[in-house]
Structure formats: C-alpha cells, structure tokens
Amino acid sequence: MLRTFSIPPESARCPLCGPNPEFIIIDGQPLGCTDPDDVNPKRLDLDCPVLDIPTHKLCIVENAQLRAAITKVLCSSAALTDNQVQLLRTWHADMTVEQVPVADRAAAVLFFHFFPLRSRPSVAGTTGTKQSQADTNRVVEAPPTSTPGGHRKRKVPGGRTLEEAVRQDDKGNLVLGGRGPIAKRVIDAWRERTGVCAPRFERYPRDDDGAWLAVLPFLQTLLAESVTGMFQAHDERAVRLVASTMRLKGAADWRDVTNALDGVGFVASFVGKFADVIAGDVLLRQSVGLVPLQAADMEVAVDEAFDGAASSKEVLAKGWQNAAYCEK
C-alpha cells in the first residue's frame, strides 16, 4: 500500500530552507516504512529540556472542565452534566464582563455563535425547542423540511446528511454512499443534540456539511486543545496583522491580508467559508481576530520559556545543545 502513494517532492518544503530540506521533523504516526534497513531515525528530542508549563497555560480556554464540556458539545449529543451546564452558563455570562480576559470572551462569542446557550438542559427525550423569555439567545427552530429561507433542503446522495449517507457494502463494511442498506447511525452524533448548546441549525442548516466541517475543527482546536505550535512555522507578525485588521479596521479590510492564515488549513477553511458573515458581524469579526492573536502570543511565551530553559545552567551542564537543535 505504501508504494502506491505518490508524494510530490514539493510537499516536503521548509519555510526557511525551501523544498527538500536535509533535516525533517515529523510529528505523527507513521504508517510504515518500505525500506527500513536504509532508515536511521534520530531521537534528538530526548535532549530537549522539559518545560515547567502547566497544560492549561497552553490553552486559550484554561478551565479543563469547560474544555471537556466544549468537546462533548462538538463531538457528540451525550447529555451534559449539571456541572457542565453551569460552566457553560457562567462562560456565557462572562462574555460581557470586562474583568474577564478578552481572549476568553472572544472564545465564548465564537462558540455560542454556532452553539447558542438555549434555555433547556440537554436531557434525553427533550426537544429543546421551548425557550424561556429570559433567555438571551432565544431562537425558533426551523421546520425540519426547509431552510430558514423557505427552500427545500439540498439532499446528499444516499441521505440527507453525511451520517445518513453511510451505507453497508456486500461485505458489511461501512462506505460513504452506494446502494447498500443504510448503516446503523451513531446515536450520539453531534447533530442530534437538543437543548443547551444545540447546533444553530436555524441559521446554518443541518445538512450544510461544508459549513459545519469548517466550524467543528476550528472550534475544537482553538477552544478545546492546546494551541502552541499552530503558527510557529509561519510569519507570526503577519498573523498579528490579520488579527489587528479584523479587530480595528473596516468590514472588508482584513480580506487583503489573510495569506498568513493559509498555512493553517482549518483556520483558512473557517475564515473562507464564513467571510461574509465575519464581514457583517463586528463582534464576531473581532473575536475571530482575537483568538488566533492569543495563539500567536502564547507561541512567543513558550519560545521564551524554552530559550530560558535551554540556556539554564542545569541543561548546559548535561551537554545538551537545544538551541542548535531547534535552529536546525
């Protein structure tokens, strides 16, 4: 199987050396090796200092329990616990509190734009359509057979959504599309969530896979995981320019400086898919700018921490050459 892959040489391109660099660092799970006798991997990372940085300090959303709640909303329809509901409600309330760090508020704006805080908890058997008068994110669910504009939904071959397009072939394997029987659906798919933080299908239709496939990885990576390493291979000053333009300039000015985002696929996909929405919503546009800006700032903080650790007396006494390794 490995020999069937056609990998163009330009895919191994270093931002400093250009194509075909002599030294490559790979972070991932290898599928295998066609010529193991000719490969002599070096574990230079064993000579790196251990940074004394708590994990939550590498995340835009520092609260681990809140990150777990975000992940549950994005990845499943499993019922939220009472504690998770309260965490989400508190996070929503903090969006307008000036004492809360601005990056936290921006992250909340992004999350609740697509998964609004509705009035009823996500409990099995409830529909979540009844809204209280006090709910600041009060919405009305669109009829399941039409989009908000009144047009019939676009059908995906084999089903209405990607989940419904999964079929079984003649050997019982799951395939996307085809004429086989519909596969048993995952009962806790994220699309099935109701009540608190149910997806905003009334604005972004349930079967608009292009939109949601841009939303989910963007929110998961920036809000529920550590963000260091995201922009380090790219021009961080250019990323800051994009962020500052979104925050401070007009509705369309940021479109001219988005090249810096192209190096991070899920960021580019999100910004490209929702460009018109970002341009028309000032608060959303400022939030979209602030979150990558925070990621770039955290990258600088980690770099400074590493420089300090790499030049410490304890590390130098061990004979480690971390600065030279990282430069290479």
Per-residue pLDDT tens for 219-266?
998 999 888 777 766 677 888 888 888 888 888 888 888 887 777 778
Q: Which pLDDT does position 22 carry in this prediction?
A: 72
Q: Provide the residue ranges of all domains of the chain, joining segments of one domain with +.
A: 227-328
Helices (H), 169-321: 209-223, 236-248, 265-273, 275-280, 282-310, 313-317
Helix (H, G, I), strand (E, B) or coil at 182: strand
161-188 confidence digits (pLDDT tens): 666 778 888 777 888 777 888 877 656 7
Report the alpha-carbon distance of residue 241 to residue 212 in Å, rounded: 27
Share of the chain above pLDDT 90, in %: 20
Report the alpha-carbon distance of residue 192 to residue 126 in Å, rounded: 11
At residue 210, does pLDDT exceed 80? yes
Report the alpha-carbon distance of residue 294 to residue 308 in Å, rounded: 21
What mean pLDDT, rounded, does the chain reach? 76
In this prediction, residue 136 has a pLDDT band, given cuts at 50, 70 and 90, of very low
In this prediction, residue 156 has a pLDDT band, given cuts at 50, 70 and 90, of very low
Report the alpha-carbon distance of residue 244 to residue 254 in Å, rounded: 9
Q: What are the Cα distances from residue 40, in Å, to 12, 33, 37?
A: 18, 11, 8
Q: Is the pTM of this model over 0.85?
A: no
Element (H, E) at 74: helix 64-75
Phi, psi of 39 (to 5 degrees): -110, 130
Q: Which pLDDT does position 167 carry in this prediction?
A: 84
What's the mean pLDDT in 47-64?
A: 82
Q: What are the Cα distances from residue 267, in Å, to 30, 214, 246, 254?
A: 25, 8, 14, 14
Report the alpha-carbon distance of residue 49 to residue 120 in Å, rounded: 48
Residue 269's region, left for phi above 0, alpha for psi from -120 to 50, else beta, is alpha
Length of the chain: 328
Beta pairing, strands 18-19 & 13-14? antiparallel
Element (H, E) at 113: helix 102-114
Strand blocks (E) in the chain: 13-14, 18-19, 166-168, 174-176
Q: Which pLDDT does position 9 carry in this prediction?
A: 60
- The type of residue at 286 is Q
In this prediction, residue 83 has a pLDDT band, given cuts at 50, 70 and 90, of very high
